[in-house]
Chains A and B, each alone.
Chain A
Amino acid sequence: MQIQGARALRPLQRWSVEQGAGRRGGFLGRAIWPFAALAAALAVLPWLGVSAYVLGVLTLAFYLGVFAMAWDLLFGYLGEVNFGPTFLVGLGAYGAALLNNYTGLALWGCLAGGAAAAVVGGLLLALPALRLRGPYFGLVTLAAVLFLQRVIVIAARYTGGEIGLAVPSVLSLSARVNYYYALGFMLLSGAVLLALVNSPLGLILQAIGQDAMDAAVLGFNVTKYKLAAFCLSALFSGLAGGLTIFYLGTVSVGTVVDIAVTLQIIIAAILGGRRTIIGAVLGALFLIVMGEYLRPLGDLNEFVVAALALGVLLWAPDGLLGFVVGSRRVEG
């Protein structure tokens, strides 16, 4: 029991050691410069004569990056096997689309409404997470996605069913402006999430993820922190989902709810390196760019991407970011 208690304490000990040594967030310090350089490079990209098509591909990659970061908060830090990120994304996207279609709300109001729907969904997902562990919780989240998918198809009169629904408002018609909306939103979400996970909150979440009972024994209100993490993840997923459909101009099950989208999110986060937040963005960029690059392979494209991700999982479980900044696991 003593050893177990020590395990949950470890992230907290590490934090206090880093505080004492005056290098708060040691990993963040190492990763921040390459990341800033990447952000700067992405920011000047539209002025380098890149085609609107490439900008469009990257725009979608940025939104996928936000989905994956929000997922990483639950998986990497809280240790929840969440197969339902698209339940949250889909609620945000369909919430915004329905408001846009059937009310006179302005675009930003629709986004806020969609995000609110996603947060409610996040609370719904958090309830089983308080009682169930590991695969059981995973199955409930999977069921949630399938359920949402069926409901959308059944309510086809309002949601457009399998075909999807056109969204009257758009963010912008210019590929460049859309690109900056997506990039700006991704950087903002990344900054907020990074700040959160490198604060004491992130360490408490990790402690809960490693052993919820030990964390409770240490006096942390596990329920409160779990609910908070799910709401945060849902907020970013829902907002990104809404922005995606106002970029695409349509909403459909295939783009925001389908299990295939869930898989993309999970692969992106793990490929980039779990429990890093930044890694999720790298993974999303890698996944989308690789997908475009491998397009000539036709239907084998997905096979190669899945095989690459499996290879990373087997031989480099820390992901792409593990290569960039080296191993950051504290031993002992």
Chain B
Amino acid sequence: MRQLLAQIVVDGTVLSALYGLGAAGFALIFGVSGVLNLAHGAVLLVAAMTAWAMASELGLGPYLSQLAGVGGGVIAAYLTYYVVIRPLQRSRKIPDEEREIFVLTATLLWAIMISELLAHFFTATSITVPPLVQGVSQVLGVRTPTNELAVGAVAWLVIGALWLFVHGTRTGKAVWAASINPRGLALLGFDLERIYRWVWGIYGIMGGVAGVLLASFLGANPARAGDLTASAFSIVVLGGLGSIFGSLLASYLIGFIETLTAYLVAPSLRDLPGLIILVLVLYLRPRGLFGRR
């Protein structure tokens, strides 16, 4: 029993950190540009599949292949922005009140396109990215792959780097301001276009890291892009759209509930309690736990 509890604590902590990383990127994009990117899971998958292909086809080492995977994530993020989001935001044929619906539908289609291409050119089966570190360690008396600890540590490092960027650099502060009041920032003479470029790049890095780490911890499958998006979406809505802190907290809530369900009830039901909590929270408090809008 104590063993099981310790196992749940370790797995839950690492899984939650990964969810937090993925969801923070999703929340950042929404906060700054108001875009709900339903191709989020597909961006994560591009990173995972790139890393996998680099390792298994080209024989690159784990560090290089995972770095290449992150690069793939950044490219996928920029493609999403330039091919789908920007044309939609600038189109004059779409009435303003329907723009949001168009972005949701278009990114959903874009996600299908990406996962079909990945399944066609790489593989339609599940893959795992080779671990960053080999070996097994003892944590709380449980034998845990050292890689799992590395995954959690890297996830938190990247989240910390985002915090430093936002609070410590001029560009980062501008990004933060854009998420509060983009029009005010434009009036102050900041180039919003440049800020969007920064944000999509950061989003690509965060999504890329999350995708690669997720694939080395749990594996990845092109058919699962939708599930990845759905979990990031529900975490972000649960935490409150636009609040990165809320997203991080919600990711721990969801991560631990999923792990508990997987270990104590049945692995196939792991996402069910999260769904119920999500619907309840939306009914009772539609702006989420820490939502600003």
Contacts and interface: CB of A to CB of B under 8 A. Distances in A.
Q: Which of B91, B124, B275 has the largest count of A CB atoms less than 10 A from its CB? A: B275
B289 interface: no
Nearest to A318: B93
Given A139-B234, A267-B109, A302 B104 contact: no
A146 B116 contact: no
B119 A299 contact: yes
A128 B284 CA distance: 10
A259 B279 contact: no
Contact of A136 (B112, B116, B119, B282): B282
A131 B279 CA distance: 12
A302 B105 contact: no
Interface in A37-96: 75, 79, 81
Contacts of B95: 329
B269 A140 contact: no
A306 B116 contact: yes
Interface size class of B (residues with CB under 8 A): 35 or more
Interface string A221-252: 00000000000000000000000000000000
Interface residues of A, number: 40
Interface of B: 36, 84, 87-88, 91, 93-95, 97-98, 100-102, 104-106, 108-110, 112-113, 116-117, 119-120, 124, 226, 230, 233-234, 237, 241, 268-269, 271-272, 275-276, 278-279, 282-283, 286
A132 B286 contact: yes
A204 interface: no
Interface stretch (A189-197, A276-284, A307-315): A307-315
Given A132-B286, A317-B93, A138 B116 contact: no
Given A147-B276, A317-B91, 19 more contacts: A79-B101, A132-B282, A134-B101, A138-B104, A140-B282, A143-B279, A144-B279, A146-B230, A266-B108, A303-B112, A303-B116, A303-B120, A306-B109, A306-B112, A307-B113, A309-B109, A313-B105, A313-B106, A314-B87
Contacts of A146: 230, 271, 275
Nearest to B286: A132
B271 to A, nearest CB: 7
Nearest to B229: A142
Contacts of B124: 299
Contacts of B105: 266, 270, 313
Given A142-B230, A147-B275, A317-B94, A128 B283 contact: yes
Contact of B283 (A79, A131, A303): A131
| Interface residues of chain B: helix, strand, loop or mixed (majority) | helix
B91 A314 contact: yes
A310 B113 contact: yes
Given A131-B286, A317-B91, A317-B93, A140 B279 contact: yes
Nearest to A309: B109
A164 B275 CA distance: 24
Contact of A135 (B36, B109, B112, B268): B36
A306 B113 contact: yes
Contact of B109 (A131, A300, A310): A310
